[in-house]
Chain A
Amino acid sequence: MTGNTQTDTAITIRNLVVDYGPRRILNDINLDIPSGQIMVIMGQSGAGKSTLLRCILGLKKPTSGSIHMLGTDIATASQKEIYKARKQIGVAFQGGALFSSMTVGENIELPLREHTNLDEKTIQIMSRIKLDMVNMLDAEHLMVAELSGGMAKRAALARAIIMDPKLLFFDEPSAGLDPSTAAELDQLIITLKISLGMTIVVVTHELDSIFKIADHIAVMKDGNIVETGTPQQISASTNPEIQGLLNRKPRETIVDTDAHLRRLTGGF
């Protein structure tokens, strides 16, 4: 890794391996996530995208390898160092992960209450600014159970950006949303990158979203990164795995008919 690359990259992942017992989930992952751009990590279900995201966030300790983010190697850092790095990131989880015992406003204000000494009025104003950014100003006093799927995701995004993070992570932002709401969210992600200059990492398999928002794409399969590049480079890739993904082809399964029959019948 050259010094030059390190200054241009927000996250540098080297030789990352994750094992769950005997199963290898991530196999020697190497990835550079550039600063101030949107990196989309795509792949089929079970490719290891979410595990990679959990490792970057420090929620899962990798078996080996390194993840340099905000001056810290997340893979080997202490809990205190990880918490220090996390104060500079925002995460919007797939289901929102909003606290159901709080209103939308209280959810968004929580990081400010925990990490700053701002007065009540300032906290409320900052919360409303973020709610306005995601078009949720009217929902400030609603309970989480009263929100639709799209509203919950937007509220989660408002909470993720309340501390003006340097890095923003999305786990499946468009999953389960209607096309119109998904498009709104995509536009919001692009706006955030442009207006706040954030580095954004999106884990998804929604093709429409990917090519709309991505500056760079990393394609994963079976725990490996099979290709990285710009959307144009990925589209033009001749790799059959990538073409299969892009053209929504079902996974090819090579079946040994006899072996399959034995498996179905238990050998009888």
Chain B
Amino acid sequence: MSSLVTYIESLGAYCVTALEQTGRTFNMLVQVVWELLHPPYRLYPIVRQMYFIGARSLTLIIVSGITIGMVLGLQFYNILQRFGSVELLGAGVALGVIRELGPVMTALMVVGRAGSSITAELGIMRITEQVDALECMAISPDKFLIAPKVVAGLLSVPLLTMVFDFVALFGGYFVGVHMFGVAEGSYWNGMIDAVQWQDVRIGLIKSFVFGVLVTLICCSRGFYMHLTKAGSQGAEGVSSATTDAVVLSSIAVLFSDFLIGALA
């Protein structure tokens, strides 16, 4: 009986912590919007963050885009060949990439490369009193640290998704046309016929949402590290907050992918 009570208590404590963290993340979003609406407006910090989140993720996105496109081309070809419909290869690859895999894989890559760094950076700034120093200089950390990252995420993830989609389509093309001999015209024409504006729109909406979600969760886990158990653990706490941020961001991306897909 006592172990059941302990279990319920720990479950309750876990739920309270999760709710607190969600509340803080939402509060951070409100603060960021508020700060963005008020002067001074500065472009350079956003460009700098876009370079970090976007430009420096480009190689990873190109490599993973080509690979995913090739794998899709291979799998779709094997399936379509059984039904004698290899001319649908272009349509299959394009719809899979533009609607689902492009935004999701790009967001997951950004989580792994940039999101973890954002959490670690903010966590270290918190434990070395750099955030306190900003506050004491009457500089809003939300404006100075968080807002540029969130805006950069909002803009970079859709741009990276477009790059991912583009190279993935060529990955599928390479496998389908050059390895398995699918007619070039049927690959591209099948794609053009199958993909509608609605598919592109859903892919774009997802990438915008993922961009904000990923940066916001990663910022929140690092920035509010001192309010969690990790806050008292120094370097180990930063490592733990970074792991949490990556896991939470990935789950948030996958879950919101389902939600947007279901609602659209």
Interface residues of B (CB under 8 A from A): 125, 128-130, 132-133, 135-140, 144
The interface residues of chain B lying within 8 Å CB-to-CB of A57 are 132, 135-136
A86: Cβ under 8 A from any B Cβ: yes
Asked if B132 and A93 make an inter-chain contact with CB atoms under 8 angstroms apart, the answer reads: yes
A115: Cβ under 8 A from any B Cβ: yes
Asked if B138 and A86 make an inter-chain contact with CB atoms under 8 angstroms apart, the answer reads: yes
Asked if B129 and A97 make an inter-chain contact with CB atoms under 8 angstroms apart, the answer reads: yes
A65: Cβ under 8 A from any B Cβ: no
Q: Which of A59, A84, A95 interacts with B128 by CB under 8 Å?
A: A95
The CA of A99 and the CA of B121, in the complex, are separated in Å by 11
The interface residues of chain A lying within 8 Å CB-to-CB of B136 are 57, 59, 86, 89-91
Asked if B129 and A110 make an inter-chain contact with CB atoms under 8 angstroms apart, the answer reads: no
Asked if A115 and B138 make an inter-chain contact with CB atoms under 8 angstroms apart, the answer reads: yes
Q: How far is the CB of B174 from chain A (nearest CB, A)?
A: 40
A111: Cβ under 8 A from any B Cβ: yes
Q: Which of A84, A89, A97 interacts with B130 by CB under 8 Å?
A: A97
Asked if B139 and A59 make an inter-chain contact with CB atoms under 8 angstroms apart, the answer reads: no
The CA of A216 and the CA of B140, in the complex, are separated in Å by 33
Among A69-97, those with CB < 8 Å from B are 83-84, 86-87, 89-91, 93-95, 97
The interface residues of chain B lying within 8 Å CB-to-CB of A54 are 132
Residues of A in contact, count (CB < 8 Å): 23
A114: Cβ under 8 A from any B Cβ: yes
The CA of A97 and the CA of B144, in the complex, are separated in Å by 16
Q: How far is the CB of A245 from chain B (nearest CB, A)?
A: 26
The interface residues of chain A lying within 8 Å CB-to-CB of B133 are 91, 93, 97-99
Q: Which of B130, B139, B140 interacts with A111 by CB under 8 Å?
A: B139
Q: Which of B129, B137, B140, B144 has the most CB of A within 10 A?
A: B137
Asked if A99 and B138 make an inter-chain contact with CB atoms under 8 angstroms apart, the answer reads: no
Number of A-B residue pairs having CB atoms within 8 Å of each other in the complex: 49
Asked if A87 and B138 make an inter-chain contact with CB atoms under 8 angstroms apart, the answer reads: yes
The interface residues of chain A lying within 8 Å CB-to-CB of B128 are 95, 97
Q: Which of A58, A100, A110 interacts with B137 by CB under 8 Å?
A: A110
5 smallest CB-CB distances across A and B, nearest first, come from: A97-B133, A86-B138, A97-B129, A91-B136, A83-B138
The CA of A113 and the CA of B167, in the complex, are separated in Å by 42
The CA of A98 and the CA of B132, in the complex, are separated in Å by 11
The interface residues of chain A lying within 8 Å CB-to-CB of B144 are 114
Q: How far is the CB of B243 from chain A (nearest CB, A)?
A: 22
Asked if A95 and B129 make an inter-chain contact with CB atoms under 8 angstroms apart, the answer reads: yes
Q: How far is the CB of A116 from chain B (nearest CB, A)?
A: 11
The interface residues of chain A lying within 8 Å CB-to-CB of B125 are 99
Asked if A97 and B139 make an inter-chain contact with CB atoms under 8 angstroms apart, the answer reads: no
Asked if A59 and B137 make an inter-chain contact with CB atoms under 8 angstroms apart, the answer reads: no
In the complex, besides A57-B135, A111-B139, 10 extra interface pairs with C-beta distance below 8 angstroms are: A54-B132, A57-B132, A58-B135, A94-B129, A95-B128, A97-B128, A99-B133, A114-B138, A114-B144, A115-B138
Q: Which of A58, A94, A100, A159 has the most CB of B within 10 A?
A: A100
In the complex formed, the residue of B with least CB distance to A59 is: B132
In the complex formed, the residue of A with least CB distance to B139 is: A114
In the complex formed, the residue of A with least CB distance to B124 is: A100
The interface residues of chain B lying within 8 Å CB-to-CB of A94 are 129
Asked if B129 and A114 make an inter-chain contact with CB atoms under 8 angstroms apart, the answer reads: no
The interface residues of chain A lying within 8 Å CB-to-CB of B135 are 57-59, 86
Q: How far is the CB of B148 from chain A (nearest CB, A)?
A: 12
The interface residues of chain B lying within 8 Å CB-to-CB of A111 are 137-139
Q: How far is the CB of B36 from chain A (nearest CB, A)?
A: 16
Q: How far is the CB of B38 from chain A (nearest CB, A)?
A: 12
The interface residues of chain B lying within 8 Å CB-to-CB of A93 are 129, 132-133
The CA of A83 and the CA of B125, in the complex, are separated in Å by 20
7 A-B residue pairs with Cβ-Cβ distance under 8 Å, sorted by A, are A86-B137, A91-B133, A97-B130, A97-B133, A99-B133, A100-B130, A111-B139
The CA of A120 and the CA of B140, in the complex, are separated in Å by 22
In the complex formed, the residue of A with least CB distance to B144 is: A114
Asked if B130 and A99 make an inter-chain contact with CB atoms under 8 angstroms apart, the answer reads: yes
The interface residues of chain A lying within 8 Å CB-to-CB of B132 are 54, 57, 59, 93, 97
